[in-house]
Amino acid sequence: MTIKITKADLVVIGAGSGGLSVAAGAAQLGLKVVLFEKGEMGGDCLNYGCVPSKALIAAAGAAHEARHAERLGVAAGPVSVDFAKVMRHVQAAIAEIAPNDSQPRFEGFGVKVVREAARFEDGRTVASHSVRVRARKIVVATGSRAVIPPIDGLEDVPYLTNESIFDLTERPARLIVLGGGPIGVELGQAFRRLGSEVVIVDSGTLLGREDPAATEVVVDQLQRDGVEILAGYKAVRVEAGPTLVLQHRKEEIMISGSHLLVAVGRRPSLDGLDLDRAGVSTDRDGIITDRSLRSSNPRVFAVGDAAGRGQFTHLAGAHAALVVRRAVFGLSINADALQVPRVTYADPELASIGLGEAEAREVHGDDLRVEMFPFKDNDRAVAEDDTRGFGKLITTRKGKVLGVTLVGRHAGDHIHLWSLVMSAGLKLSQLTGMIAPYPTRGEINKRLAGQWYTPALFSSRTRALVSILKRFA
């Protein structure tokens, strides 16, 4: 086959969130851009991650609310779940959003889209089956894939990952979830609420990266939902069934199910790129990059999961904006300065940004203040009869915000404000001066900020000052 040889200002490998954003931005600025994608346009988030999982969670949430509406005086009656229809809803959500990430749309921006696997031939040349491109700059945005752990027997039994579970048309009778991270918790709870028996297995603790008190709120709800949790159990063998042989301390137990979901984490998708030919160094987290997201080859940048700095769609989008500034305009950027929120979309949601309390104490020692405000004291939560969770604010003693954790209904929608506070370096006093609409759950953010000032505001020194000032009022 004849290989077409071309030149470009920018080559992008991968059409997920980060790659598409880089390609669109650069093309609309007048650069000649070639985009390679061997799989589906939109990448993991659209096809196997964010979109389908949230569509499934929405259906599961509707079933749960219907079952428990009686607490508000509404009798919904027996709840019936049409699982095939639920999965059609999931696929419909993907289909409705897909045009935003489609090949015709990006070709409309002026991007040359090549639907083939790409590889490096040298430090500035990328080739596929039919095209060879010599580029001024190259961006690797290949995303990540599910980690398949080296467990004896696993390869001999059918198992699901996030890339295949949304293809199900029949509800699993008993789903074993291997991995208690965000993906395992979200999907485990969703399938339980849709009628499956669910067991979540993790060698450590569920959501181990998060604040333990916040995790406890989520785990409590999982158990109320009927999810069986085996924390501290290590999978040592998989047998037909599927059956997992687990080790807990010195004992072995066996659990069986109808389906097995492997959700122990994700790793960057870099296989087949021949990065060594381009002089691009990697480690277990992905491509090694500096604060400018530039690799050991100064022509090659990495964004999103491939850059090894976190696996979030919104982070990939932020990386894309930075790389366009750097690669197109030559501006200085600092990816290390990004304040990246994260959300586990369980019910209740668990959202956080910055340092957790334990991390903050390791870094700052006693120069720390922690404020907590429970949703049981939030009027909107009381009105909705859903007072689960709390907010936690972590600052230095001088008031610099180090981190925030919110756990509760729609927590992910309320962490935005703290992302602004931390990225813009706002002061807590600016939050206390904000008018928050009443009654809303978002008031918790202002209450946390106001609570920080309470000791000083109502101190004996302040009272003495007021006593003097009142004479002149």
Instruction: Give the pLDDT band (50/70/90) at residue 460.
Output: low
Tens-place pLDDT, residues 113-143: 999 999 999 999 999 999 999 999 999 999 9
Domains of the chain are: 4-41+102-146+267-337 (3.50.50.60), 154-264 (3.50.50.60), 348-455 (3.30.390.30)
pTM higher than 0.75 for the full model?
yes
- Per-residue pLDDT, averaged over 179-186, amounts to 98
Average pLDDT, rounded, for the chain: 95
CA dihedral 203→207→211→214, nearest 10 degrees, is -120
Q: Is the pLDDT of residue 46 over 90?
A: yes
- Type and span of the H or E element at 44: helix 43-47
Instruction: Assess whether pLDDT exceeds 60 at residue 1.
Output: no
Nearest to 267 by CA among 147, 403, 103, 422: 147
The alpha carbon torsion through 95, 11, 6, 281 (nearest 10 deg) reads: -130
**pLDDT of 396 higher than 90:** yes
Tokens at residue 170, please?
């029949």
* Cβ proximity of 191 and 60 under 8 Å: yes
pLDDT at 5: 77
pLDDT at 76: 83
